[in-house]
Every structure is written in structure tokens, then in C-alpha cells.
Amino acid sequence: MARGVALLAAVPFYLLHRVESLVLGRERSFMGLSQLLALVPGIYGVWLRAAFYRLALRSCPQSCAIEFMTTFVTPEAVLGRNVYIGSHCNIGLADIGDDCLIGSHVLVTSGRNVHHFDDVETPIRLQGGERETTRIGRDCWIGNGAVVMADVGEGCVVAAGGVVVSPLPPYSVAAGVPARVIRKRGEPRDEGGTP
């Protein structure tokens, strides 16, 4: 019942988004409402965000939870079933699989080449870039403060603070800057404290 009420509460925001899109453009309108709804605290905010994103994202099942101060860059993002995204995250053009856990303060960028910068004579803001979908496979855990710039295979764990700049094969446990595979899930841990 609470989720139904949240959906009703989200409809005016979605209608505002549709109207604003005519003037501001779809992505600019979406980002503004994503930032506004990120400010709603507590469980009511979680329900309201899930309801709005269910209407506005390419895919966001009712079972998703998006915490306080988390924003999305584009309505083209895709969330699978039972995705949890912690507080203070920023999600770009991403496809996040079922049953993923995304910690707090995680950045999922729209690929590695969002901004070109090779021409030293031209300001970086004028050099353009390429947005690519960053894919996170099902059943992954992305630790707090991680930055994901490349695909993460199914069943992976990215340690807190890890920076993923190259694709990770399925069932990898990766850590560091840049993130490197330190073992596979299911393998025994070493005695030195490897996660």
C-alpha cells in the first residue's frame, strides 16, 4: 500500500518532468528532478525515488531501493530487480543487473571517455566526449567510495575505494587504484587478510 501511495506522489513529479522536457530537454529536466528527489530523507524518500524512477528510467522495478542524496545523470539508466543503491551516489549511463548492492559514495560513470582532453590548444569542455553504457552484472557488490568506469562482470565484488578502469571478469574480487583482481569468489582467502 505504501508503495502505491508513493507512486501516486511521484506522478506529479513525472508529469513536471514531461512538461519541462519540452522546454529544457529530457536529460536536463530529468537531472533536476533527480537532484530534487535525492533530498527527501528516510523511507519515504526511498519509496518516492523508486516510484519516480520506475516511471522515468528505462527500467527500475518496484523492488529497487535508492537512498538519500543519490542522483542519476540520464533517464537511460537501467536497474534490475532488487538493486540497492546507497546514499550519496551518482549514476551515469549504466545497466545494473539484478540483486546488486551499491555502497555509499559510489560513482558509476558513463564509460571512460566522457571527456576528451588530448588537444592542449582547445579547452577540455570544448573537446567533446563519448558516453558508453557501463554494465554491472547481476549479484555484484560495489563497496563504499568505489568508482566504476568499466564493465563489472556477474558476481563481482569491488572493494571500498576501488577504481575500475578495465573490465572485470565474472566472480572477481577486485581492489585498489586501479582495481586489480586479487582472487575469485569461491576461492579460499589467504591468511594475510585478503577480502
Residue 115 among the catalytic residues: yes
Taking the model in full, what pTM does it have? Answer: 0.91
Q: What is the pLDDT along the chain (195 residues), one digit of tens a residue?
A: 777 888 899 999 999 999 999 999 999 999 999 999 999 999 999 999 999 999 999 999 999 999 999 999 999 999 999 999 999 999 999 999 999 999 999 999 999 989 999 999 999 999 999 999 999 999 999 999 999 999 999 999 999 999 999 999 999 999 999 999 999 998 877 666 556
**pLDDT at position 146:** 98
Query: 17, 105, 115, 116: which is the annotated catalytic residue?
Result: 115
CA distances (Å), origin 186, targets 56, 160, 162, 171: 38, 20, 20, 8
- The CATH number of the structural domain formed by 2-182 is 2.160.10.10
Kindly give, in sequence order, each residue whose CB lies less than 8 Å from that of residue 144, ignoring residues fewer than 6 positions away.
Answer: 86, 103, 104, 105, 106, 160, 161
